[in-house]
Chains A and B, each alone.
Chain A
Amino acid sequence: MYKIAVLGDKDSILGFRALGLDVFSADGPEQARPVLHRLAKEGYAIIYLTEQLAAGLSGEIARYKDELTPAIILIPGKEGSLGIGMANIKTAVERAVGADIL
């Protein structure tokens, strides 16, 4: 049985607790880094990560990108979307095709 985690700043993730997801709060990338690694090890299949934290954790995210689990999915935090999630799709296209064709 796999689990779903939400990692982000406290105000952004509180609502997900009502859905029955496991929420973990972190105030900055420094705090989030060990948590992210721990979650990846503990059998979380999906980790929703706020873009605000993801901005400082790009190396860690790239590490898990090619692995089957966990799927790290960026979601906008309460400050709004930073466009990192959309940019990632673009990067994936560039990686596969060699140019951005969309």
Chain B
Amino acid sequence: MPSTTINPTRMELTRLKGQLKTAQRGHKLLKDKRDELMKQFMDVVRENRALRARVEQALMRAHGSFTVASALMSPEMLEQSLMYPKQSVELDMTFENVMSVNVPEYHFRTQNDDQSQIYPYGFAQTSGELDDAVSELSGVFQDMLKLARIEKTSQLLAEEIEKTRRRVNALEYVKIPQMQSSIKYITMKLDENERANTIRLMKVKDMILKDALEEKRAATAQAAAASN
């Protein structure tokens, strides 16, 4: 049954039929979009997991070296060594369109490309573990940027998929059945009207015929009486 009251008119029927056609088309398109998004999302998530595991491992190694370094050096000394970095990073961000989802793309440029030039301190008063930690960090930095891009992408894709999924389901299970039942209701109502009309016409015709017959009969009876 249609939940809201609808006018059983031909105009309404035409409007609903058009709407249904659009809804079905939209449903198909959204379904395709969802499937494609899902495919991309699965690839991204798999990469995300692998990358995260790698980054976490490398960072733990760096933290380990760092802890040793901080045990060997005084905290003031450690902070002083790292106070003025030689390296600096410039980040540029562009957007890539994946199935109508804007995902960020990072481009970065380091000021210092020479790997041996990244240590912002003299080697005389610092421990070797600090060098290890810094070089480990600088090695993992590329992966960290990649992780940032992939993780953000997966979050944005997840949001878009959720939205698309809801739309597909709303169309499939609510909107389209509702319209179909409305169309059915109107068609049946119109057919019913049609039949009622036919019957009425037949009834009227019967009545007129009956009247005419009676008139004729009366006329013949009169004529017979007159001739007698």
Task: Find out whether the CB atom of B56 lies under 8 angstroms from the CB atom of A2.
Answer: no
* Chain B interface helix/strand/loop/mixed: helix
Task: Find out whether the CB atom of A14 lies under 8 angstroms from the CB atom of B49.
Answer: no
Task: Find out whether the CB atom of A4 lies under 8 angstroms from the CB atom of B91.
Answer: yes
Enumerate chain A residues within 8 angstroms of B74, measured Cβ to Cβ.
none
Minimum C-beta distance from A11 to chain B (A): 7
In the complex, A54 has a CB within 8 A of chain B: no
Q: How far is the CA of A73 from the CA of B55 in the complex (A)?
A: 11
Q: How far is the CA of A88 from the CA of B191 in the complex (A)?
A: 57
Task: Find out whether the CB atom of B91 lies under 8 angstroms from the CB atom of A96.
Answer: no
In the complex, B155 has a CB within 8 A of chain A: yes
8 Å CB interface, B21-70 against A: 38, 41, 45-46, 48-49, 52-53, 55-56, 59-60, 62-63, 66-67, 70
Q: How far is the CA of A67 from the CA of B154 in the complex (A)?
A: 12
Q: How far is the CA of A76 from the CA of B151 in the complex (A)?
A: 15
8 Å CB interface, A33-53 against B: 45-46, 48
Task: Find out whether the CB atom of B137 lies under 8 angstroms from the CB atom of A18.
Answer: yes
Task: Find out whether the CB atom of B111 lies under 8 angstroms from the CB atom of A69.
Answer: no
Q: How far is the CA of A71 from the CA of B172 in the complex (A)?
A: 34
Task: Find out whether the CB atom of A18 lies under 8 angstroms from the CB atom of B56.
Answer: no
In the complex, B183 has a CB within 8 A of chain A: no
Task: Find out whether the CB atom of A89 lies under 8 angstroms from the CB atom of B106.
Answer: no
Number of A-B residue pairs, CB cutoff 8 Å, is: 137
Interface residue range, chain A: 35 or more
Known: A2-B93, A66-B156, A78-B67. A48 touches B52 (CB 8 A): no
Chain B positions 138 through 153: 1 when the CB is less than 8 Å from some CB of chain A, otherwise 0? 1001001101110110
Who on chain B is nearest to A45 by CB?
Answer: B93
Minimum C-beta distance from B75 to chain A (A): 9
Q: How far is the CA of A48 from the CA of B66 in the complex (A)?
A: 18
Q: How far is the CA of A3 from the CA of B154 in the complex (A)?
A: 21
Q: How far is the CA of A54 from the CA of B110 in the complex (A)?
A: 28
Task: Find out whether the CB atom of A75 lies under 8 angstroms from the CB atom of B82.
Answer: no
Instruction: Out of B52, B141, B149, name the residue touching A86 (CB < 8 Å).
Output: B52
Q: How far is the CA of A69 from the CA of B111 in the complex (A)?
A: 24
Instruction: Out of B56, B78, B95, name the residue touching A76 (CB < 8 Å).
Output: B56
Q: A17-B85, A95-B162 given. 11 additional CB < 8 A pairs?
A: A2-B93, A11-B67, A11-B70, A15-B137, A19-B85, A68-B152, A71-B104, A81-B56, A89-B48, A89-B154, A97-B38
Q: Which residues of B contact A (CB under 8 A)?
A: 38, 41, 45-46, 48-49, 52-53, 55-56, 59-60, 62-63, 66-67, 70, 78-79, 82-83, 85-93, 95, 102, 104, 106, 108, 110-111, 118-120, 133-134, 137-138, 141, 144-145, 147-149, 151-152, 154-159, 161-162, 165
